[in-house]
Amino acid sequence: MSKNVKAILLPAVVLTAICIVCAAALGGVKLLTQDKIAEQAAAASNEAMAALFPGASFSDSLPPGTGTKDPDGLTFAALQDGAGIGYAVTSAAKGYGGDIQVMVGFDTALRVTKVIVLDASNETPGLGQNVVKAEWLSQFAGTDTSMAYDEVDAVASATYSSKGIYNAVIAAGEHLAALIGENGGGN
Amino acid sequence: MADTKTKLLPELTKGFIQENPVLRLVLGTCPTLAISTTLTGAVGMGVAATIVLIITNALISALRKVIPDKVRIPCYITIIASMVTVVQYLVKAYLPDIDKALGIYLPLITVNCIILGRADGYANRHTVAASVFDGVGMGIGFTAALSAMAILREVLGSGSIGGLAIPGISANPILIFILPPGGFFVYGLVMAVCNKLAVRKGKPAAALDCANCPGCGETGCPENDRQGGSVC
């Protein structure tokens, strides 16, 4: 009888103990690293903004000086010597393996100046991930939301990834246009 | 000390060719095919999987007398999944570049059957030291196999190596090599070469560890009969 009880209870007790220890370890590591992880994400976003508008300073009031802000916190105005020179918008769209995150730079006429991919880690390495290359992304420079997908020179065999970038860029443009339009800023 | 060393060294080297996890044991095929499109990705994946493999092999070997046989698989999975997540958090926090390169493949190490295969096939029956050596050897074997495939696939399929374009072929690469069919093609070729090397060393294929046999658990397993039903 007692042998039976042991044979049934022991595995359950050991498994429970292992689960508790593992859960505690996970919680501990999460606590230790979460600040650092948030810091890394913020650093990556700041780095991308600086790459879009070298030497500019950034403000979250849109258009600059009005005090209106993007309710989603995705849009920043770039300022040089106090004058607005453009906007940086973070946006995401579905690629092949998940969301592709991009940051798009716009000039004051809301035309794309530059696209930077923040996260395309779920795209196929060596294939879909070729969309992060600067020379491929440079085709978006000068376009606006009227650009059709037919105009994109997609990466061969990576249609979903190419379309993901296109959709994210268009979404960023529309997001910005809606914001600026709302504020009556126009150009 | 010298005696333990001579015994441990084969545990390390057997993973290179003789029992190469990818090419001889045919474990971890899915991550192998998925990640071997670029050399940098292959090396990153290999190193990350090796680190996880060493940690889990050591932990499971240390707990081998505590974990009851009946619940060993859930125990292993819990330990492996937790360790992978811990490594993932640490990489995200301190090595963001590697995190970007590995992306979805880091969490996929959880279901990399090399890890579970070595836990159940080796670490639960050997000492901690031997298991660590086995983990290092298997990890090196995995990384080497992945890198060999990645070099072939990246050069032929992307016309580059480690992300650097090779003049002459980078303009017109053979795209199929970085697509799944090319992956299987290269996998078969590299496996054939590895088999050739392993046989040349004079060890028959039957020397592979019984516990890694995919037919384990089915009736009529000769190794199981030989050992009186203690294997499966």
Among A121, A122, A159, which would you mutate to test the B interface (most chain B Cβ atoms within 10 Å of its Cβ)?
Answer: A121
Q: Tell me if A126 and B102 make a contact (CB, 8 A cut-off).
A: no
Could you say which DSSP state residue B125 is in?
Answer: G
Could you report the per-residue pLDDT of B83-129, keeping only the tens digit for each? 999 988 888 888 887 777 676 677 878 878 899 999 988 998 899 99
Q: How many CA atoms, within 13 angstroms, populate the side-chain half-sphere of residue A70?
A: 22
Query: Contact at 8 Å (CB) between A140 and A169?
Result: yes
* Rg for chain B, CA atoms, rounded: 19
Helices B128-158 and B2-13: crossing angle, nearest 10°? Answer: 30
Each residue of A156-184: pLDDT tens digit?
A: 888 999 999 999 999 999 998 888 765 54
**B152 compared with B98, residue with greater pLDDT:** B152
Please say if the pLDDT value at position A152 is more than 60. yes
What SS3 state is found at A148?
coil
DSSP element (H, E) containing B31: helix B29-35
pLDDT score, position A161 = 93
**Residue B84 identity:** V
In this complex, the residue of A11, A25, A29 whose CB is nearest that of residue B70 is A11
Which pLDDT value is given to residue B31? 84
Say whether B71 and A11 touch across the interface (CB within 8 A): yes
A127 contacts B179? CB cut-off 8 A: yes
The distance between the two most distant Cα atoms of chain A, rounded to a whole number of Å, is: 85
**Which long-range contacts (C-beta less than 8 Å, at least 24 apart) are formed by B210-214?**
B211/B120, B211/B121, B211/B122, B212/B25, B212/B27, B212/B117, B212/B121
pLDDT band at B231 (very low <50, low <70, confident <90, very high): low
Q: Identify the DSSP state of B166.
A: P
- Across the A:B interface, residue pairs with CB atoms under 8 Å apart total 84
The shortest CB-CB distance from A121 to any of B35, B79, B103 is to B103
pLDDT for position B198: 83
**B102 contacts on A by Cβ (under 8 Å):** 121
Please compute Rg for chain A using Cα positions: 23
User: In this structure, what token pair is assigned to residue B10?
Assistant: 């084969």
d(C-alpha B216, C-alpha B232), whole Å: 6
Q: Using an 8 Å CB-CB cutoff, list chain A residues near B101.
A: 121, 125
Per-residue CA distances from A57 to A60, A82, A85 (Å): 10, 9, 10
Q: Which of A127, A130, A136, A157 to mutate to test the interface with B (most CBs of B within 10 A)?
A: A127
Pick from B138, B174, B145, B114: nearest CA to B33: B145
Chain B residues touching chain A at CB-CB below 8 Å: 34-35, 37-38, 41, 63, 66-68, 70-71, 74-75, 78-79, 81-82, 85-86, 89-90, 92-94, 96, 99-104, 153-154, 157-158, 175, 178-179
Q: Which pLDDT value is given to residue A22? A: 94
Chain B residue numbers with beta carbons less than 8 Å from the beta carbon of A14 are: 66-68, 71, 75
The answer to whether the beta carbons of residues A106 and A77 sit under 8 Å apart is no
Predicted pLDDT of residue B2:
41
Chain A residue nearest residue B39, CA to CA: A126
Buried b (16+ CB within 10 A) or exposed e, B186-221: bbeebbeebeeebeeeeeeeeeeebbbbeeeeeeeb
- State in Å, rounded, how far the first CA of chain B is from the last one: 34
pLDDT at B181 (0 to 100): 92
pLDDT category of residue B1 using cuts at 50, 70 and 90: very low
Q: State the Cα torsion B14-B135-B26-B157 to the nearest 10°.
A: -100
Q: Both tokens of residue B137?
A: 């050897």
